[in-house]
Amino acid sequence: MTILAWKDTLKKVKEILEKAPIGYCLDYEIPADKSIKEALITVTGKTFIAKAKISKIAPYQNEKNVLKKKKDKLKTLITIEKIEEIQDDIVNYEEVSGGSVDKVLSFAVIVKKEEAKIELPDHMEGKLNSEVKSLIRQVEKDGNSLPVKIAEQLTAAKKHYGIGEKDFEKLIKATLEKYKETGVDPYEAVGIVGAQSIGEPGTQMTMRTFHFAGVAEMDVTLGLPRLIEIVDARKTPSTPSMTIFLTEKARGDEDRAVSLARSIESTTLLDVADIEVNTTEGYVLILLDKQKMQERGLKREEIMPKLKKIRMQKTVISEEENKIRLSQEEPSYKKIYQLYENLKTFQVKGLDGIKRAIVKFDQKAKEWVIYTQGSNLAGVMELKDVDYARTKTNDIIEISQVLGVEAAREAIIEESTSTLHNAGLNTDIRHLMLVSDMMTFSGNVEAIGRHGISGKKASVLARAAFEITSKHLLNAGLIGEVDKLNGVAENIIVGQPITLGTGAVKLSYRREE
């Protein structure tokens, strides 16, 4: 069953509930599909709060007497015949086409709670060998379940060590027992346990930076500042860096590695030349330094074409041996000084954002690796000799933009694990996985804080308990928000048992007639 679903404000949902039947304009394109008869609306992106009956879908044409999601950029008019608040619990949602998740919850297949069942997808099942399939089916017959990865490891171990059938059954039994131990009890407070498990060792962490191979200019933030950076989802880390691995042909060749490091290192005019400004005669003089240019692998012929692209109107360029003179047809103090300022940061070689690159030989892997100060993942992945499958950056937001949200989720787990391990702390990876899942489940990397997850909680009291209490309570009062007291914080505030552990069990007494 295909159902239209979108994210909206509580104020708009209440307005539709009051005025339906009515036309409603949305800010994304929907094909006029006659099979779409229902719509679902969410406020939080997690649960749906209203269900609507649709009679018509048409392109938006400056409609009158209708409700609008936004003031501009509207694309579709849907006619809502009837709308009601949702009472039943919808737990599963699968995106099947277009639209960015932060803006829209696109077209969706909705599965009711009683129908929700996790099955092995057909495309995955086709890739599994017969031994793994039979092991999974055997375990399922006994009423248990085993992840595909563990099943593959078990069958591989059986083959490698030549384990007999009886011993293999014992191994399966022991694995299942161990696997069940790793599970979580129903209604266990995984969030609070996870927060404690990361927060407690976090207080033991030292504020320090780590230097690359004794090079003072190259440092990477570690310890508590790095952990805060990760969970805050900072747009750029304080010390962005990349580890660039080379392809099989290039990884053993030092000259190729050094040449590649030089080509990606961002080089500005000031790195290879002295710049003088003459405001009285109205020109800027660039004095090229031969030695510096040789070190950076640059030639004068490479600089001239780039200078011609400079974004200043009517600039005249003339050159002598190692001098380049830039003047303007209509010189003025302001324009000449602006030209001088532009030239100081003018990039003549390399990739944006990469200030420095050093080449080191990895003794374990027996290969040359490039370490950079600064990051430009998209640019580096396009270069020849770069093994883009292994190349990594510590900029999580950049990973999400270039490789997608799943890669960003993996990066959060890896970065936080290595940060804790470098400080000599051992936190269970599942707590970090929970954090990364919470940060990325919406389709974007969101911070754990008032500007991210904590600020978007469905509960008014939970938001108010976290930060800026009065603002949250005032806004909730203005729009008439309702708190259903489903979580931990809100139940503690009102002084009733929390819905965890024994508090999740509700007993009722049925009197005999």
Give the CATH number of the domain where residue 312 resides.
3.30.1360
pLDDT by position in tens, the chain (length 513): 567 777 788 888 888 888 888 899 888 777 776 677 888 887 766 667 788 888 888 888 878 888 888 878 788 888 999 888 876 655 544 443 333 333 334 444 455 544 444 455 555 666 788 888 888 888 888 888 888 889 999 999 998 898 998 999 999 999 999 998 888 888 888 888 999 998 888 887 766 656 554 455 567 787 888 888 999 998 888 888 899 999 888 888 888 888 888 888 877 777 677 777 776 666 777 777 777 777 766 776 667 666 766 655 566 666 677 777 777 666 666 777 777 777 776 777 778 888 888 888 888 888 889 998 888 888 888 888 888 889 999 999 999 999 999 999 999 999 999 988 888 888 889 999 999 999 998 888 999 887 888 877 888 898 888 878 888 899 899 998 888 888 888 899 999 888 887 788 878 888 887
- CATH number at 497 reads 1.10.150.390
Same domain membership, residue 148 and residue 204: no
Same domain membership, residue 387 and residue 247: yes
Does residue 511 fall inside a structural domain? no
Same domain membership, residue 199 and residue 255: no
Which residue bears the tokens 């995106």?
Answer: 95
219 phi and psi, to 5 degrees?
Answer: -130, 150
Same domain membership, residue 289 and residue 311: yes
Does residue 125 fall inside a structural domain? no
Same domain membership, residue 54 and residue 81: yes
Same domain membership, residue 420 and residue 387: no
87, two tokens: 């009472």
Q: Bridge-partner residues for 24, per DSSP?
A: 67, 78
- CATH number at 50 reads 2.30.130
Domain limits for position 70: 2-115
Same domain membership, residue 321 and residue 464: no
Q: Which residues are CB-contacts of 71 (< 8 A; sequence separation ≥ 6)? A: none
The H-or-E segment that residue 373 falls in is strand 367-373
Q: Which residues of 2-31 are buried (b: 16+ CB within 10 A; e: fewer)?
A: ebbbbbbebebbeebeeebebbbbbbbebe
- CATH number at 414 reads 1.10.1790
Does residue 124 fall inside a structural domain? no
Tell me the C-alpha distance between 173 and 169, whole Å.
Answer: 6
29, two tokens: 């394109």
Same domain membership, residue 22 and residue 105: yes
Does residue 364 fall inside a structural domain? yes
Same domain membership, residue 331 and residue 309: yes
Smallest CA-to-CA distance from 393 within 287, 236, 183, 257 is with: 236
Same domain membership, residue 28 and residue 80: yes
Does residue 93 fall inside a structural domain? yes
Same domain membership, residue 105 and residue 160: no
How many structural domains are present in the chain? 6
Per-residue pLDDT, 99: 37
Does residue 121 fall inside a structural domain? no
pTM for the full predicted model: 0.65
Per-residue pLDDT, 96: 38
Does residue 509 fall inside a structural domain? no
Same domain membership, residue 151 and residue 41: no
What are the angstrom distances between the C-alpha of 48 and each of 42, 68, 417, 461, 500? 4, 20, 34, 20, 23
What are the angstrom distances between the C-alpha of 460 and each of 87, 243, 253, 296, 479? 20, 43, 60, 58, 12
| Segments in 79-164 forming alpha helices (H) | 122-127, 130-141, 148-161
Tell me the C-alpha distance between 370 and 119, whole Å.
Answer: 43
Tell me the C-alpha distance between 48 and 68, whole Å.
Answer: 20
Does residue 277 fall inside a structural domain? yes
Sheet of 356-362, strand order: 356-362, 367-373, 241-245, 392-393
The residue out of 349, 374, 408 marking a domain boundary is 349
| Segments in 314-468 forming alpha helices (H) | 333-344, 377-381, 396-403, 405-422, 429-440, 460-466
